[in-house]
Structure 1
C-alpha cells in the first residue's frame, strides 16, 4: 500500500484540505498508516499533478486561502484498482521488539521503561479510538450502525486499531509482570 491509496481512501469522506487530512490521519487512519503533514502535502501535490485529485481554492477572511482536494474520476478508478488487487501480508518492524529480543544481554530497566511507555501509548490510543467509535455510532448500536451507515470501512479499520492496541496493552502488562518477577540470578 502507498500513502497515495491511504489519502484517496480518506478523501472518500469528501473534499478536505491538507490540514483536514492530517487531522483525520491522526485521529483515525493512524491506526494502520502513519504520515506526517509534510508527507501528506507532498503526496497531495503529486496526486494533483497525476490527475487523481482536483483542488479548489477557498478564500478565507483573516486566514490564508486553503485548497480543498477531492477525488477525480481517475482517482476513484485508481482506488478501485487498488482494492481489487491482491494484498500481501503485512510485516512488523518494531524497535521495541528488537530490544525485548536482546534484553537478556542488555539493560533490562531501560527495556522495561520502553515497554511501560508503549503501554501508556496503547492506553491513550484506546481511549482516543473509543471516543471516535462513540462519535461514529452516535447513540446507535454497532449492528444499527453497520446496517444503516453508507460507509462501514472506517468503522472496520477503527475496530482493527482497537483490537491491535488492546492486544498491545495486554502484552505490555504481561511482559512487565514477567520482567518484574524475574530474579537477577535467573538471567544469564
Structure 2
C-alpha cells in the first residue's frame, strides 16, 4: 500500500495541515501505517502536484502561514479505485522475533530486555488507541455509535490496533515467563 492511500483516507472527511496530519498519524493511523513527518510532507507535495489534493494557505499571527490540504475529486476517485482492489497480504517483519528466533546464540538477558521494551511500547500505544476510541465514541456506547456514528472506518481500525497491541503484550508476558523458567539464572530474568 502506498503512503498516498493512507493520506487520502486520513483526509477524506476533513482538511488538515501537514503538521496536524503528522500528529494524527502518530496517534490513530499509526496502528496500521507509519511514516515520518518528512515522508508525509513529501507525499503531500507530490499528491498536490498530481491533483489528488488541493491546498489553501491560512495566514497566522506570530507563526508561519500554514497550508490546509483536502482531497479533490481525483483524490476521491483514486481512493475509491484503491478500495476496489484486493489488498496484498501482510507479512510480519519484526526484528524482535529474529532475536527470539536466534535465542540459542543470543544473550538471553538482552532478549528479555527487548521483550520488556516491546511490552512497554505496546502498552503505551494501547493506551493511546483506547483514548482515541473513547474520543470517537464520546458518551455513546458501542451499539449506539454503530447505529448512528459517521466514523466507522477509524472505529474499526482502532479496534484492530487495540487487538494487535493486546496480543503483543500477552505474547511478551508469555515469552518472559517461558524464558524465566527456561533460563532462571539469566541476568534479565
Scaled by the length of structure 2, the TM-score of the pair is: 0.96
Match of 1:33 in 2: 33
Aligned length: 185
Aligned to 1:174: 174
Aligned: 1:23 with 2:6: no
User: Offset of 1:18 from its aligned partner?
Assistant: 0.2
Query: Which runs of no fewer than 5 residues in structure 2 stay unpaired?
Result: none
The unaligned stretches of length 5 or more in structure 1 are: none
SS in structure 1 at match of 2:91: coil
The corresponding residue for 2:128 is 128
2:160 aligned with 1:160, yes or no?
Answer: yes
CA distance in 2, matches of 1:20, 1:134: 20
In structure 2, the residue matched to 1:10 is 10
CA RMSD of aligned residues (A): 1.1
CA deviation after TM superposition for structure 1 residue 167, in Å: 0.3
Distance 2:113 2:127 in 1: 21
User: Is 2:53 the partner of 1:53?
Assistant: yes
* Structure 1 residue runs of 4 or more that deviate by more than 2 Å after TM superposition: none
User: What residue in structure 1 maps to residue 112 of structure 2?
Assistant: 112
Q: 8 Å contact 2:133–2:158 — kept in the other structure? A: yes
Q: 1:73 to 1:110 in 2, by over 3 A?
A: same
SS of alignment partner, residue 161 of structure 2:
helix
Task: Give the secondary structure class of the aligned counterpart of 1:93.
Answer: coil
**Residue of structure 1 in register with 2:149 after alignment:** 149
1:82 alignment counterpart: 82
| Distance in 1 separating the partners of 2:73 and 2:30 | 26
Inter-partner Cα distance in structure 2 for 1:120 and 1:13: 33
Return the offset for 1:184: 6.7
Greater mean deviation of Cα atoms: 175-184 or 11-20 = 175-184
- 3-state SS, counterpart of residue 140 of structure 1: coil
Q: Using the alignment, how far apart are the partners of 1:13 and 1:120 within structure 2?
A: 33
Give the secondary-structure state (helix, strand or coil) at the position aligned to 1:119: helix
Q: Distance in 1 between matches of 2:113 and 2:55?
A: 46
Displacement of 1:12 in angstroms is 1.4
Q: What CA distance in whole angstroms lies between the structure 1 residues aligned with 2:184 and 2:153?
A: 49
- The answer to whether the 8 Å contact 2:136/2:151 transfers is no
